[in-house]
């Protein structure tokens, strides 16, 4: 379980954020006393830091600079300031990503998992039920047969595969598609899922994707 | 200063001078002074009056001609006293000193207003950032308690966020200070950020977005551009045709000296007579009255921002079929390092 450290001075956001992360299967720890931020953060040994720019004492950018002197823990900067300066500055100080408040929680989770994956050296699942996922070719293969997936189908399949056995909501799927520059509507998602189903059936995986009414889909 | 006007202005003086001369001649005649002497005295008197008037006229004419000329050339006319030389005659000096005093008081007034508007702007900027905290908090709550609150709740939060951004960018567009950074910005990334931000709204409207040729970078401020595209997006999602699946088509076109970004929807369009005024302040037009209430501020702020960034913007539309907004980014090598 990855441990995420929340550096945020707004109590309400901090608590909701911790709840969001815990619900999504992360361990969340918060900084509540900002007098000795750097030492407190580093001694907690988190896997990722969510850092607000506007915090008491040392601001987020300076804190990031200090942390970078000693550690290369992944850091996502979060801010309510919408100016290009902050983004440029944060990235140059070594932030891994930058998100503006108010953020879409699903996007935040996607970004967190992307940054964690990058830091771990991409260890995503490469096989499903005897099928190999070939990202370079964008295809699924069972050794003898090769089925090409479209970009959308691959995005959907990847997300479901990463969360195999648990429910993936339509909202999650939509967010993942939109985050990959595929701005489709609801109808297109339905079509994509049914195409993915028939392609999986072609490879001998019948009923691989189960529909949960009003909740989403589960890859069995 | 015309000679005729000057002479008319001096009429009383001439009358008095003439009366004095007449009186003098009368006395001279009464004392039986010789005719030659009378002519001599009269000539000296007239010549002295003539030269005195001539030098007076020339001194004033030089000062006033300079004043008029500088006043015509000046863009900010209240700075006139800085531009003229201090005159060497009394009336001019009085005027000059009065101008200095008036200007000083004007500058104080201007400075006071500038300070007030800066204060107000700072407050707005701070306020917007503060109000984003509860919005962010609510958004997280909505997500954590999705079952009770759901997407409609999130959508309303997005509207609040949208309106607060309008205030922020209105304040920014009106400020004389340069608070943007022009740098190479990827159109693809800007469009993606805007799309993601409006995903819930787009989904509620059943809209899809198509993109084409966005792998181009332009010289602009990324955040400002995202705000601009966000306004386009909000309009496109607001003015849709009932029963037609909304499609937003965003494409970029590379020309020799500029890059054009087209933002086209298949919505209700804008009546032809309204098109020239869509960027005017508070202009709501027919659509604003008939369909959804609008403030008429969105595109006005957009136009201001484009002006400040040096981008061109234009609108085209056909009633009932489409609206297309185009931003022109200059390929300005001047900005490149």
For B73-97, the pLDDT digits (tens) are: 888 888 888 888 888 888 889 989 9
Q: Which helix (H) or strand (E) holds B318?
A: strand B312-318
Domain of residue A64 covers: 3-121
Query: CATH classification of B180-330 is 3.30.565.10, yes or no?
Result: yes
pLDDT band at B314 (very low <50, low <70, confident <90, very high): very high
Q: Is the pLDDT of residue B187 over 70?
A: yes
Report the range out of A82-96, B80-94, B153-167, B263-277 with the highest average pLDDT: B263-277
Q: Count CB-CB contacts under 10 A for residue A2.
A: 17
Lowest mean pLDDT among A139-143, B97-101, B112-116: A139-143
Angle at B329 between CA B327 and CA B179, to 5 degrees: 95
Q: Is the pLDDT of residue B174 over 70?
A: yes
Q: Is the pLDDT of residue B337 over 70?
A: no
What integer pLDDT is reported at residue A122 of this predicted model? Answer: 62
Total domain count, chain A: 2
Same domain membership, residue A115 and residue A13: yes
CATH number, domain of A19, equals 3.40.50.2300
Same domain membership, residue A133 and residue A93: no
CATH number, domain of A188, equals 1.10.10.10
Lowest mean pLDDT among A46-50, A119-123, B121-125, B322-326: A119-123
What integer pLDDT is reported at residue B211 of this predicted model? Answer: 93
Mean pLDDT value across residues A92-118: 87
> Which of A49, A77, A16, A54 shows the shortest CA–CA distance to A40?
A49
Mean pLDDT value across residues A172-198: 91
Average model confidence (pLDDT) across chain B: 88
What integer pLDDT is reported at residue B194 of this predicted model? Answer: 92
Per residue in B262-312, pLDDT tens? 999 999 999 999 999 999 998 888 887 777 677 888 999 999 999 999 899
Instruction: Give the one of B129, B196, B245 whose C-beta lies nearest to A80's C-beta.
Output: B129
- As given in the structure block, the two tokens for residue B111 are 């400075």
Q: Is the pLDDT of residue B247 over 90?
A: yes
Q: Which of A10, A28, A78, A82 to mutate to test the interface with B (most CBs of B within 10 A)?
A: A82
Distance from CA of B165 to the nearest CA of A (A): 9
Q: Which residue has the tokens 């900002």?
A: A34
What integer pLDDT is reported at residue A173 of this predicted model? Answer: 92
What integer pLDDT is reported at residue B63 of this predicted model? Answer: 86
pLDDT band at A123 (very low <50, low <70, confident <90, very high): low
Q: Which residues in chain A are contacts of B245 at CB distance < 8 A? A: 185, 187
- Percent of chain A predicted with pLDDT > 90: 31
CB contact under 8 A, B196 and A87: no
Percent helix, percent strand, percent coil in chain B, to nearest 5 = 65, 15, 25
Same domain membership, residue A129 and residue A113: no
Query: What distance in Å separates the CA atoms of residue A79 and residue B185, rounded to the nearest whole number?
Result: 20
What integer pLDDT is reported at residue A125 of this predicted model? Answer: 64
Q: Which helix (H) or strand (E) holds A213?
A: none
Among A121, A146, A176, the domain boundary falls at: A121
Q: What is the ipTM of this complex?
A: 0.81
- Cα Rg, chain A, nearest whole Å: 20
pLDDT band at A90 (very low <50, low <70, confident <90, very high): confident
Q: Which of B147, B189, B196 to mutate to test the interface with A (most CBs of A within 10 A)?
A: B196
What integer pLDDT is reported at residue B111 of this predicted model? Answer: 93
Same domain membership, residue A100 and residue A51: yes
Same domain membership, residue A114 and residue A21: yes
Instruction: Give the one of A13, A20, A181 whose C-beta lies nearest to B133's C-beta.
Output: A13
| HSE-up of residue B199 (Cα within 13 Å, Cβ side) | 26
- Nearest residue of B to residue A188 by CA position? B208
Average model confidence (pLDDT) across chain A: 87
What integer pLDDT is reported at residue B334 of this predicted model? Answer: 56
Residues of chain B with CATH 3.30.565.10: 180-330
Query: What distance in Å separates the CA atoms of residue A99 and residue B42, rounded to the nearest whole number?
Result: 95
Same domain membership, residue A193 and residue A156: yes
Q: Residues, chain B, total? A: 337
Among A87, A103, A121, the domain boundary falls at: A121
Among A89, A104, A121, the domain boundary falls at: A121
DSSP A24: T
Mean pLDDT value across residues A58-73: 89
Tell whether pTM > 0.90.
no
CB contact under 8 A, B202 and A54: no
DSSP B291: T
Same domain membership, residue A204 and residue A177: yes
> Which of B288, B278, B272 shows the shortest CA–CA distance to B321?
B272
Same domain membership, residue A111 and residue A31: yes
Same domain membership, residue A134 and residue A96: no
What integer pLDDT is reported at residue A5 of this predicted model? Answer: 94
Mean pLDDT value across residues A120-140: 77
Same domain membership, residue A10 and residue A110: yes
Lowest mean pLDDT among A99-103, A124-128, B5-9, B23-27: A124-128
What integer pLDDT is reported at residue A166 of this predicted model? Answer: 86
Mean pLDDT value across residues A79-107: 84
């Amino acid at each position: 379980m990855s441990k995420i450290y929340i550096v945020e001075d707004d109590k309400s956001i901090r608590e909701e954020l911790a709840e969001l992360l815990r619900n999504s299967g992360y361990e969340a720890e918060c900084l509540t006393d900002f007098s000795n931020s750097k030492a407190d953060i580093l001694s907690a040994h988190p896997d990722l830091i969510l850092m607000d720019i506007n915090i008491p004492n040392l601001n987020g950018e300076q804190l990031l600079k200090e942390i970078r002197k000693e550690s290369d823990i992944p850091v996502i900067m979060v801010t309510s300031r919408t100016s290009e300066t902050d983004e440029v500055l944060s990235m140059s100080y070594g932030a891994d990503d930058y998100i503006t408040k108010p953020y879409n929680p699903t996007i935040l989770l996607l970004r967190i998992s992307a940054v964690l994956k990058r830091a771990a050296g991409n260890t995503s699942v490469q096989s499903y039920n005897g099928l190999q996922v070939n990202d370079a070719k964008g295809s699924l293969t069972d050794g003898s047969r090769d089925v090409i997936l479209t970009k959308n189908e691959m995005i959907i399949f990847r997300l479901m595969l990463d969360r195999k056995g648990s429910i993936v909501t339509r909202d999650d799927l939509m967010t993942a598609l939109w985050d990959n520059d595929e701005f489709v509507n609801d109808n297109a998602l339905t079509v994509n899922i049914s195409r993915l189903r028939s392609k999986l059936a072609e490879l001998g995986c019948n009923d691989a994707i189960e529909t949960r009414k009003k909740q989403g889909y589960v890859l069995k | 200063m015309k000679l005729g006007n000057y002479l008319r202005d001096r009429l009383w003086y001439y009358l008095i001078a003439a009366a004095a001369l007449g009186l003098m001649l009368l006395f001279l005649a009464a004392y039986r002074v010789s005719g030659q002497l009378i002519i001599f005295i009269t000539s000296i008197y007239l010549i002295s009056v003539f030269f005195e008037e001539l030098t007076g006229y020339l001194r004033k004419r030089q000062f006033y001609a300079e004043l008029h000329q500088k006043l015509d050339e000046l863009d900010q006319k209240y700075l006139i006293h800085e531009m003229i030389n201090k005159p060497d005659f009394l009336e001019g000096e009085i005027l000059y000193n009065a101008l200095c005093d008036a200007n000083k008081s004007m500058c104080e007034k201007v400075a006071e207003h500038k300070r007030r508007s800066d204060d107000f702007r700072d407050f707005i900027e701070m306020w917007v950032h503060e109000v984003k905290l509860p919005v962010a908090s609510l958004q997280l709550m909505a997500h954590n308690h999705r079952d009770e609150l759901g997407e409609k709740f999130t959508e309303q939060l997005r509207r609040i966020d949208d309106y607060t951004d309008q205030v922020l960018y209105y304040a920014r567009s009106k400020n004389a200070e340069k608070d943007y950074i022009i740098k190479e910005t990827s159109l693809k990334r800007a469009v993606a950020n805007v799309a993601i931000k409006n995903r819930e709204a787009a989904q509620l409207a059943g809209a899809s977005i198509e993109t084409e040729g966005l792998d181009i970078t332009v010289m602009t401020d990324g955040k400002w551009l995202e705000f601009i595209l966000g306004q386009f997006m909000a309009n496109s999602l607001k003015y849709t045709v009932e029963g037609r699946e909304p499609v937003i088509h965003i494409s970029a076109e590379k020309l020799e000296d500029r890059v054009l970004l087209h933002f086209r929807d298949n919505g209700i369009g804008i009546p032809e007579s309204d098109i020239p005024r869509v960027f005017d302040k508070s202009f709501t037009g027919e659509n604003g009255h008939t369909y959804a209430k609008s403030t008429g501020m969105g595109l006005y702020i957009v136009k201001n921002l484009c002006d400040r960034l040096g981008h061109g913007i234009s609108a085209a539309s056909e009633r009932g079929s489409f609206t297309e907004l185009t931003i022109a980014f200059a390929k300005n090598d001047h900005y490149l390092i």
